[in-house]
Chain A
Amino acid sequence: KAGVTQTPRYLIKTRGQQVTLSCSPISGHRSVSWYQQTPGQGLQFLFEYFSETQRNKGNFPGRFSGRQFSNSRSEMNVSTLELGDSALYLCASSLAGTDGHGYTFGSGTRLTVV
């Protein structure tokens, strides 16, 4: 079966702009979560969506937002970009812990803010 698809793979944006990243989960997976990876902070949880509802949110400013559509695809948006938002953004899908296989991650979107 197809894996988790993230688009785009690479992105360069200017400070102050906004960006939207997309994630298509594995077919049948209803939980989608997002993570930010930076050299200084490691892998940090951003938020989780399940059946179009945000169930959990990490400790990030309100500039970071997301949504999930009825087909389980998810988008995350970062507004008013700052240099510190440069990171690898990873999306994961799961059956919400019921399938015994855990989380499957996409290839990520590498965002550079200049």
Chain B
Amino acid sequence: GIQVEQSPPDLILQEGANSTLRCNFSDSVNNLQWFHQNPWGQLINLFYIPSGTKQNGRLSATTVATERYSLLYISSSQTTDSGVYFCAVEIMEYGNKLVFGAGTILRVKS
């Protein structure tokens, strides 16, 4: 099956710093999403981005589908950005499902 790899696994930043999280996937996918898991466990949708670039405030994401990777940029990080970031790719065969990467644990220090 498809493999989804995220890097780095852990990241510690000082407040105000910028960061780039990467997601590589092993096969063509229907779409890709980035999620932030809050301390209570809910997955918050950040971007639905099968290709191209999108921006939402201090966050932006780029997916290059032909090269099978996606990047999530966090600028001017804040302590509230802490948590786990997941990328997930959608597979459409016999229905739909998401395959998740292992996540990046981000800790932003004040």
Which residues of A are interface residues toward B (Cβ below 8 A)? 31, 33, 35, 37, 42-45, 48, 50, 54-56, 58, 88, 90, 92, 94, 96-97, 100-108, 110
Q: Knowing A42-B103, A97-B30, A100-B48 touch, does A106 contact B42 (C-beta < 8 A)?
A: yes
CB of B100 within 8 A of chain A? Answer: yes
Q: Give chain B residues whose Cβ lies under 8 Å from the Cβ of A100.
A: 48
Q: Knowing A97-B90, A105-B35 touch, does A31 contact B41 (C-beta < 8 A)?
A: no
| 0/1 string, B26-53, CB within 8 A of A gives 1 | 0000110101000011111100100000
Measured CB to CB, the closest approach of chain B to A52, in angstroms, equals 13
Residue contact B95 to A50, C-beta cutoff 8 Å:
yes
A44, B103: Cα distance in complex, Å: 13
Residue contact B96 to A56, C-beta cutoff 8 Å:
yes
CB of B99 within 8 A of chain A? Answer: yes
Number of interface residues of B (CB under 8 A): 25
Residue contact A48 to B97, C-beta cutoff 8 Å:
yes
Most chain B CB within 10 A, of A58, A90, A92, A103, is at: A103
CB of B17 within 8 A of chain A? Answer: no
CB of B25 within 8 A of chain A? Answer: no
Residue contact A42 to B100, C-beta cutoff 8 Å:
yes
A103, B96: Cα distance in complex, Å: 10
Looking at chain A's contact residues, is the secondary structure mostly helix, strand, loop, or mixed? strand
Which residues of B are interface residues toward A (Cβ below 8 A)? 30-31, 33, 35, 40-45, 48, 86, 88, 90, 92-100, 102-103
Residue contact B97 to A102, C-beta cutoff 8 Å:
no
A105: which of B42, B48, B95, B103 is its contact (CB, 8 Å)? B42
Q: Knowing A97-B31, A97-B92, A101-B48 touch, does A90 contact B43 (C-beta < 8 A)?
A: yes
A23, B107: Cα distance in complex, Å: 31
A67, B58: Cα distance in complex, Å: 40
B98: which of A45, A54, A101, A106 is its contact (CB, 8 Å)? A45
Q: Give chain A residues whose Cβ lies under 8 Å from the Cβ of B41.
A: 37, 88, 90, 107-108, 110
A-B contact pairs, 24 of them (CB 8 A): A33-B98, A42-B103, A43-B98, A43-B100, A44-B100, A48-B96, A56-B93, A56-B95, A56-B97, A58-B97, A88-B41, A92-B43, A97-B30, A97-B92, A97-B96, A100-B48, A101-B48, A103-B98, A104-B45, A105-B44, A106-B42, A107-B41, A108-B42, A110-B41
